[in-house]
Amino acid sequence: MNEPEITLELVQKHGLTAEEYAQICAILGREPTYTELGIFSVMWSEHCSYKNTRPLLKTFPTRSPRILVGAGEENAGIIDIGDGLAIAFKMESHNHPSAVEPFQGAATGVGGIIRDIFTMGARPVCALDSLRFGDLSSPEVRRLFAGVVAGIAHYGNCFGIPTIAGEVYFDKSFDGNPLVNVFCLGVLRHSQIARGKAQGVGNPVFYVGPATGRDGLAGAAFASQDLTEESAEQQRGAVQVGDPFMEKLLVEACLELLATGAVAGIQDMGAAGLTCSTCETAARACTGIEIELSKVPQRAPNMTPYEIMLSESQERMLIIVKKGREAEVQRIFDKWDLPWALIGEVTDTGRMVVKNHGKVVADIPAAKLANEAPVYHREAREPEYLKSTRAFKLDDLPDVKEPVEALKALLSWPTIASKNWVYRQYDHMVRNGSVVCPGSDAAVIRIKEDSLPPLPENSPERGQPVPEKYVAISSDCNAAYVYLDPYEGSKIAVAEAARNLACSGATPLGVTDNLNFGNPHNPELFYQLKEAVRGVGDGCRALDVPITGGNCSLYNQNPSGPIDPVPTIAMVGLIEKPEHITTQWFKDDGDAIILLGDAVDLLDPLYGLGGSAYLQAVHKLKTGRPPRCELEKEKALQEVLLRLVRSGWVKSAHDCSEGGLAVALAESCISQVVARHTPKLIGAKVDLARIKGIRLDALLFGESQGRVVVSTGPEQAEAVVAEANRHGVAARKIGVVGGRNLRIKTAHGTFVWKLGEIHDLWWNSIARLMH
Amino acid sequence: MALTAAIPGDDSKMNFAVLQFPGSNCDQDCVHVLRNVLGHSAWLQWHKERSLRGADAVIIPGGFSYGDYLRTGAIARFSPVMQAVVEFAGNGGLVLGICNGFQILCEAGLLPGALIRNRSLQFRCEHVYLKTVAPDSPFTRKIPEGRLLRIPVAHGEGCYFADAATIRRLFANRQVLWQYCDAKGRVSDDASPNGSVRNIAGICNATRNVAGLMPHPERASEGILGCEDGRLVFESMIEALTERKLAVK
């Protein structure tokens, strides 16, 4: 079979520059074959190599005493949670495929991240997704939204993992470039950590999972370029097709195999499929690997070596088995009726050698391929638009005249409205571990014995009781803030995620980040990325939360323009005791409502209205400097909140974010769900009249940071306020739970909202837009 | 998860075989509730095994057996273990099918009717209220009269359908065990998450030893998960089994 001749045009079509091509020739000592060109093009794409972002990512804080496997080491990071147990988690994007084929794009995103978790030896126990779409008034946006949600539901539900948390934002900048960031968390014992290393010269290399086809061809390269009409059409074939049933069989079989001790190394075939898994495992182990493509199960006729190496067919794993133990692979994979094939072996040459019917089609030094992708230090330049957005002053904005209507508008604004239309399509209760389901500040899952992978027959850990653990997760990023101030907005993303965890009673343990940005060759967009990384890094350092790994998705733009910059932060925390698990809704009539933190940031000339949901939803403006984030104050607030939770005094906790204090109060009244069509609504009488000299819109809807609304038993209010003050955190009782309305008294007047009415607007807004 | 076999000689512990097909997702949840919460013996029964190993009752759990290929539950009915279950049921053994398990029982002909796509055409996961229509069955006998059960559903194909004559017969024979209702016990259209005929959530066969329901009682058996009404279904079965064992002595 004749391979195409390498021309400069062909090199460019592969997304490689002339300099990169020269480097490839230097590494090989000759010109590459067509297959080798394909291999380099995917491994050195932005998606796989992070060539535009590595220098920035190096600045992230990635270590803590609890880290067992850190960022950059393996397919996912692993953190200790005590008692010999650990969690593995990571977030990844599938943005470009979802723009083109939303259902399969999102579904395979879920499949990919699940594999990254069980390839570490962990049993996947929950998922989360952070989604962004354009304006819901557009039928095209509705199509993408419905497709993505259905795809995530299809994959997660069939696989059997609860999709239990997430966020959904709607903003025009995501028209045509939806963001689909998917996260998975798994559980394992320290003794069960598996590595993606091709260890042991002479060890056999197995391929397990369904046959390879032409789907997803060069998906990694596709993800590393701007989306245009033409690219979308051409690349429809690049969208992979997922089979969650296969994945379920695969996870059970792999965990069973890992328990036998016969595995020397294991890696999933994700982006860049067979190419990536073979060269990365060899590079990590400083060994070589040789595979014979005619042994690879194929489901399309006449596949070329290029196609086989670059295919991103789903649900496949590469397993390096200890020599002599091949029979166990066969036994277990036959039990689960999964295809397997012995395709090669580990060598000591340090080279990745690919043969097809005995003829060498690729012969590349593995470590150079995996680790020596070029690194670029792109130019950054402060964007022009910031000049005008920073100039915005409140003098130009009249105060709110109809606050009652304004709150209703905010509660029905899709970004703030209840996301139940989304999560009722996800089985968020499977595995019997969902202690706090979607609908509160953070989700909480319970880890118990059957959350863990199976143990080896003769393990000393067998029969040892497994203490229950409670893990909280939340994902956050206010993209408008990041657009308006990349550094400050990114700090806030971290602070908000930690605040949400604190509201659930959890201490943060680690972060996985997904950086979603436009074209890095554009200095203004690269500035956003650079400043975001700086903000995320500073936020994580101040709050003592390491980054355990993550993903970078660039080139998120189309001819209409780039997306708002989005450094999505998914944060995981641990709750000491089940009694500390806290939810966001008010509980009982008579409870005291206390605001922790300053009601308004008086040092902010915009009083928290910059970049606010109020400004966007009511005034159609996305401008101003976002609220200030003082990390030390945030830290103090969160520590006090956790202290209060542990003392047993906190009955509910909800942080102030989009929509400010009024939305936080409203949500505390209307967000509790008992059953289908059966919410539990509970009113509140709030008195903010002592706060004088502040505009009403800033008081009700300003998004000053560092604020949490808590409720406590009436007798505990004084003690709570005193305890907060003792630790330097402002605190004041602002109201009482009870009644059929939300009533807020201010210096500008008293405003009343009927609970049934605001609940209906908030609960049904998205369903109504989708029908 | 370890496969523990039946414990011989311990009459206070009932033995539950929880079937495990490729694609079953709620199998471990059922074992957890029966074993760790209710203190009985429960194990995962692999679909290729033909012997039920002395089980007193069989649970067919939820999930997507065989990936829902062809139709939900259509392939599972041909598995070796299902042949054993058909025989077991024929001899009066207690069988409970939950969600996908209910679908499998209908496909296997052990229960009448079929489960089709939800009226909304979307997967639905939420808590619902159930009204117990027939309190005299091994699956409902411990449910206090008038007590509504709050139990989660999670399915895309949970709409129960059967022809009019079958529906009449089911009600006449008290084979309809549960109907979806609202918080006040009203069996209204709105109360159903899937559009089932007459809001049917669960039924049993004519000899009252095989039952299926779409809601997941194993997800409502522990306080920490929010409600414990589901326990009453398992406790009913345990009471019925205990009575049988004592009767045999």
pLDDT in tens, A100-109: 999 999 999 9
**How many other C-beta atoms lie within 10 A of the C-beta of residue A589?**
13
Whether residue A469 contacts residue A445, with contact meaning beta carbons closer than 8 Å, is answered with no
pLDDT at residue B247, as a whole number: 85
- Answer whether A696's CB lies under 8 Å from A600's CB: no
What angle (nearest 5°) sits at the alpha carbon of residue A255, between those of residues A315 and B28?
100
Q: Please report, in angstroms and rounded to a whole number, the separation of the first and last CA atoms in chain A.
A: 53
The ipTM value here is 0.95
Mutation for testing the A interface, residue in B20, B25, B38, B65 having most A CBs under 10 Å: B25
**CB contact residues (below 8 A), chain B span 136-165, against chain A:** 150, 152, 154, 156
Determine the Cα–Cα distance for residues A297 and B26; give it in Å rounded to an integer. 32
The pLDDT, as a whole number, for residue A62 is 97
| A759: annotated active-site residue | no
Q: Is the pLDDT of residue A59 over 70?
A: yes
**What sections of A546-693 are H helices per DSSP?**
613-619, 631-646, 660-670
- Assess whether pLDDT exceeds 50 at residue B4: no
pLDDT range class, residue A231, cuts 50, 70, 90? low
Span of A275-284, A720-729, B8-17, B42-51 with lowest mean pLDDT: B8-17
Contact between B129 and A676 using a beta-carbon 8 Å cutoff: yes
| Cross-strand bridge partners of residue B127 | B152
Superfamily name with CATH number, domain A582-771: PurM-like C-terminal domain (3.90.650.10)
Q: Which pLDDT tens digit goes with each residue over A465-499?
A: 999 999 999 999 999 999 999 999 999 999 999 99
Domains of chain B: 15-248 (3.40.50.880)
Contact by Cβ (8 Å): A444, A576: no
Q: Do A245 and B224 touch (CB under 8 A)?
A: no
- Span A196-227, pLDDT tens digits: 999 999 999 999 999 999 887 766 665 666 77
Q: Any chain B CB within 8 A of the CB of A673? A: yes
By C-alpha distance, which of A667, A659, A654, A732 is closest to A698? A659
- The nearest CA of chain B is from the CA of A371 a distance in Å of 38
Per-residue pLDDT of B103-141, as tens digits, reads 999 999 999 999 999 999 999 999 999 999 999 999 999
Element (H, E) at B102: helix B100-107
Concerning whether A94 is annotated as a catalytic residue, the answer is yes
Contact A678 B183 (CB under 8 A): yes
Band of residue A452 on the pLDDT scale cut at 50, 70, 90: very high
Q: What is the mean pLDDT of chain A?
A: 95
Contact B125 A677 (CB under 8 A): no
Give the nearest chain B residue to A164 (CA atoms): B125
Answer whether residue B162 shows pLDDT above 70: yes
β strands within A134-203, DSSP E: 163-170, 179-189
Q: In the beta sheet, which residues pair with residue A362?
A: A354
The β-bridge partners of A490 are: none
DSSP letter string, A192-234: G-------STT-EEEEESSPB-STTTTHHHHTTS---HHHHHH
> Mapping DSSP to helix (H, G, I), strand (E, B) and coil, where does residue B1 land?
coil
Phi, psi of B165 (to 5 degrees): -65, -40
pLDDT at B30 over 90: yes
B85-103 mean pLDDT: 97
Residues of B with a known catalytic role: 99, 216, 218
Residues of A in contact with B26 (CB under 8 A): 160, 430
Q: What is the pLDDT of residue A239?
A: 74
**Cβ neighbourhood burial of A405 (10 Å; 0-12, 13-18, 19+):** exposed
Q: How far apart are CA A257 and CA A332, in angstroms?
A: 7
pLDDT category at B3 given cuts 50, 70, 90 is very low
Sheet holding A351-356, edge to edge: A263-268, A317-321, A204-208, A340-347, A288-292, A351-356, A359-365
- A18-28 and A34-43 are packed helices; what angle lies between their axes, rounded to 10 degrees? 120
User: Is the predicted pLDDT of residue A639 greater than 90, yes or no?
Assistant: yes
- pLDDT for B2 equals 43
Is B244 part of the contact surface with chain A (CB cutoff 8 Å)?
Answer: no
- DSSP H helices in A519-621: 523-542, 613-619
Going by pLDDT thresholds of 50, 70 and 90, the confidence category of residue B1 is very low
- A2 CA to chain B: closest CA distance, Å? 40
Least CB-CB distance to A425: which of B69, B123, B216? B123
Integer Cα distance of A318 and A422 in angstroms: 34
- A673 CA to chain B: closest CA distance, Å? 9
pLDDT exceeds 70 at position A81: yes
A238 falls in which pLDDT band (50, 70, 90)?
low
What is chain B's percent helix, strand, coil content, to nearest 5? 30, 25, 45
Burial class (CB in 10 A: 0-12, 13-18, 19+), B131: buried
pLDDT (0 to 100) of residue A359:
97
What pLDDT score was predicted for residue A347? 97
Q: What's residue B188's pLDDT?
A: 97
When pLDDT is averaged across residues A228-254 and rounded to a whole number, the result is 81
